[in-house]
A and B are shown apart, each in its own frame.
Chain A
Amino acid sequence: MIPELGHFALILALVLAIIQTVVPFAGAVRRVPAWMNVAAPAAFGQALFQIVAFGALTYAFIVKDFSVLYVATNSNAELPLMYRISAVWGAHEGSLLLWSLILSFWTLAVAAFSRSLPAAFTARVIAVMGFISVGFLLFLLVTFDPFERLLPAAPRGQDLNPLLQDIGLIVHPPMLYMGYVGMSVPFAFALAALFEGRLDPAWTRWTRPWTTVAWVFLTVGITLGSWWAYYELGWGGWWFWDPVENASFMPWLAATALIHSLAVTEKRGAFRAWTVLLAVFSFSLSLLGTFLVRSGVLVSVHAFATDPARGVFILAFLAIVIGGALSLYAWRASQVSGGGEFELFSRETLLLTNNVLLVAAMGTILLGTLYPLISESLGWGKLSVGAPYFSMVFIPLMAPVVLLAALGPLVRWKRDHLGALVKRMRAALGVSIVLGTALMLMASAPVSMGAAIALAGALWVLSGVLHSLWDQLRNRRSKWQALLRLPRSYVGMTLAHLGIGVFVVGVAAVVVYGEERDVRLAPGETVTLAGYRFELLGVDAHPGPNYQAERGKVRVSRNGKPVVVLAPEKRNYPVQGQPMTEAAIDPGLTRDLYVSLGERLGDGAWSVRVYVKPFVRWIWLGALMMALGGVLAASDRRYRAEARSHARAAAGGTLAGAGSMSR
């Protein structure tokens, strides 16, 4: 009964979404306030029914209702409760239901926080988001129904993929979807402006916080995915340029370009058309990414041959949304463009270069990800693009971006002199190179050009940040007070850029100095790697709730002193008959020690993989710093003050032409 209720709720949500799309939009075009005011209640109703539908599916999982096909395929009688709940988004249908639910939440949030925006604009925004909701709900109901029944019911269920029975995979998809879906907000804002045929002067100030928050979620989601892959997959890798990973990274690159473009548009009014285009790109890539991953096309292009309805629907939806948005842009862009002028050497030019590089990098990743699909569907043969392609293209394109991160905040808007800048930065440049080489030599690491360059780059970012801070505080009497009074958007930017430096250090250290060895070890035997001695003490059996495990004991020591005892496991999940490796990691700020079991080889020996990974945690630390920087920037006083003053003015019945000064 409950699944049918959920299905019905989904239908009601679809009806409300259609109302949410059509009525407010018509109201904005015809200027009928009553119709425009339908937007918020419709969004609220849609969210309510989506919650009911999602709740129904979750309930089916919790009570182990194996007469629902999706539950039977992704759960099991012995699966612990925590994973029964997270299994809701463990496979395609449930994931898209979650996507749709999150979209309804974002729509509600936009409706709630847009009271200070013009009604016609908000109505258009909510209508656009409603249109996307309609697409997803239709898709779910017509071809991807999570509530489909399985009769007779499966007795025990097929079990959730063991790789997904993990905390990282509980949190990673929701975070990622918050980011993907969040990109629909700037998208809707952009389309609303294009529909209106004008870019309100305050448009940027409205759009920027939403974009930054969505970007933060995307950053956190990708970081979680990378960290999860590292500790769960047992191969010690943190990024594989896998199509699924690329699908999430491309919108992130476009969104990063969007954030920077918004900065220029807000401050100087320039780049308006580019900002709108980037907003369209970011969400288009989010949609593309979602469908690439969740439609089965990455597994095989011919997945659609078995179920053409899905393929046709997805392609049609993508064509309508992306094609429609780009057509609208082509038609209306001239009405939103125009803006401030700037010289050849100015912060605007540097930010433009930054964005071009980000978008170019995104384009090359898109090529590498889609090339196999194109090749296979055109009959050129089955090929895959090796991981080295991505590094070969990405690193040269992103290296200048890292350098620009330090430079940008130091260059003046509109016009600056290259000579003066060079004079200012000479010291910083010299210090970066010298200090970088010195640090490397001090760490008694073998000299590597690549590592030296990376380290110098990170130090360059640091010196740029410090220089910029000094510029801010130089003329204040009380430096400490001035430091505490720095605007949040500035602190956020600084933190995020520092995060880039930290990230670069982590990647360089792991790639250049990481060590790995696959060995055969019998109990009592040892292997030495990077100064650490790993001794296998033995392997015994350890049962778990829904698995059987063999647990090894590895004693690690350095220079004779014991460091840690690691317990890697090899688990066997009987329902799916699938073995899984549970690696043992000793985390550290300057290095990770990583051991995973291979398989039993005769005579009590095991194949074991051992890693020493220097500074690997800095990769995720840097990414988290970027995310935190984004949070700070989005909570800048001017966004909150603006909303407060408008609310007050509106309540007082007058429209104050208020506004705090933008930086």
Chain B
Amino acid sequence: MTPRRRQRMVFAGIVLAGVAVAAVLSFRAIGDNMLFYYSPTKLRSGEVPLGETVRIGGLVVDGSVTRANGDLTVRFDLTDTANTVAVRYIGILPDLFREGQGIVALGRLGPNGVFTAEEVLAKHDEKYMPPEVADSLKTASAARSAATGPTAALAPESRR
């Protein structure tokens, strides 16, 4: 084997080794870290496995935000205008969190139907609405209009 050919093989070997290591690491890690998104309707219909960390989103129901006295526990309801889920979170809420606003929460659904959130995210686009939430609202209103016949569809995005 000429030196040049051996060198080429060394090259190829190192590259393949690097790719293999990266691939193995990636595929193992990504499986554990895929976070699926569900709307309150999907949550209610039992599609979400209990105890698995997922993301849910919806509009914060007006008047549903309650705080326990003495600690940082806060409870509120999330809705996609078709179904509502109760959420419990211990911690400081983000600045953009407010009633009537779309937010996304990361956490687990408990057996009692309450979603315990580990993180509350209020990232948004120019319309102040997380896109996943906007989609869920559209789906819900489309389902409603399909059920009740052609009526003027509700405009789900709140423009603030």
Residue numbers of A with Cβ under 8 A of B are 234, 296, 299-300, 302-303, 341-342, 344, 349, 352-353, 356-357, 359-361, 363-364, 367-368, 371, 381-389, 392-393, 396-397, 518-520, 576-581, 598-599, 601-602, 607, 609
B92-132: which residues lie under 8 A (CB-CB) from chain A? 92-93, 95-96, 125, 131-132
Q: Which residue of A lies closest to B30 (CB)?
A: A389
Report if B155 contacts A (CB, 8 A): no
A341 and B3 form a contact (CB under 8 A): yes
Instruction: For the complex formed, measure the closest distance between the CB of A8 and the CB atoms of chain B, giving whole angstroms.
Output: 28
The distance in angstroms between the C-alpha atoms of A302 and B139, with both chains bound, is: 14
The distance in angstroms between the C-alpha atoms of A356 and B131, with both chains bound, is: 37
A393 and B92 form a contact (CB under 8 A): no
Of all A-B residue pairs in the complex, the 6 with the closest CB atoms, nearest first, are: A300-B131, A356-B18, A598-B92, A360-B22, A389-B33, A386-B33
Q: Select the residue from A382, A580, A581 with max chain B CB neighbours within 10 A.
A: A382
Q: Select the residue from B7, B36, B134 with max chain A CB neighbours within 10 A.
A: B7
Contacts of B132 in A (CB 8 A): 382
B1-28: which residues lie under 8 A (CB-CB) from chain A? 3-4, 7, 10-11, 14-15, 17-19, 21-22, 25-26, 28
Residue numbers of B with Cβ under 8 A of A are 3-4, 7, 10-11, 14-15, 17-19, 21-22, 25-26, 28-30, 32-37, 55, 67, 69-72, 91-93, 95-96, 125, 131-132, 134-135, 160
A357 and B35 form a contact (CB under 8 A): no
A581 and B95 form a contact (CB under 8 A): yes
B29 and A360 form a contact (CB under 8 A): no
Which of A368, A392, A397, A578 sits near B95, CB closer than 8 Å? A578
The distance in angstroms between the C-alpha atoms of A128 and B71, with both chains bound, is: 61
Q: Which residue of B lies closest to A519 (CB)?
A: B72
11 A–B contacts, CB within 8 A, in A order: A300-B125, A352-B11, A356-B18, A357-B18, A360-B19, A363-B22, A364-B26, A385-B34, A392-B29, A520-B70, A576-B160
Q: Which residue of A lies closest to B53 (CB)?
A: A386
Which of A342, A361, A385 sits near B33, CB closer than 8 Å? A385
B22 and A397 form a contact (CB under 8 A): yes
B95 and A389 form a contact (CB under 8 A): no
Which of B7, B17, B29 sits near A389, CB closer than 8 Å? B29
A299 and B92 form a contact (CB under 8 A): no
A580 and B95 form a contact (CB under 8 A): yes
Contacts of A352 in B (CB 8 A): 11, 14
Given contacts A384-B37, A578-B95, A578-B96, A359 and B25 within 8 Å (CB-CB): no
A341 and B7 form a contact (CB under 8 A): yes
Q: Which residue of A lies closest to B90 (CB)?
A: A518
The distance in angstroms between the C-alpha atoms of A189 and B14, with both chains bound, is: 27
The distance in angstroms between the C-alpha atoms of A299 and B29, with both chains bound, is: 24
A520 and B71 form a contact (CB under 8 A): yes
A382 and B93 form a contact (CB under 8 A): no
A393 and B25 form a contact (CB under 8 A): yes
Contacts of A353 in B (CB 8 A): 14, 18
A367 and B30 form a contact (CB under 8 A): yes
B70 and A383 form a contact (CB under 8 A): no
Contacts of B33 in A (CB 8 A): 385-389, 392
Instruction: For the complex formed, measure the closest distance between the CB of A92 and the CB atoms of chain B, giving whole angstroms.
Output: 10
Which of A303, A359, A385 sits near B35, CB closer than 8 Å? A385
Given contacts A342-B7, A353-B18, A599-B93, A393 and B72 within 8 Å (CB-CB): no
Known contacts A359-B18, A392-B25; 8 additional CB pairs below 8 A are: A300-B125, A303-B131, A363-B19, A371-B30, A383-B36, A383-B37, A389-B29, A389-B30
The distance in angstroms between the C-alpha atoms of A388 and B96, with both chains bound, is: 25
Contacts of B67 in A (CB 8 A): 601-602
B92 and A577 form a contact (CB under 8 A): no
Which of B10, B28, B92 sits near A349, CB closer than 8 Å? B10
Instruction: For the complex formed, measure the closest distance between the CB of B115 and the CB atoms of chain A, giving whole angstroms.
Output: 17
A396 and B69 form a contact (CB under 8 A): no
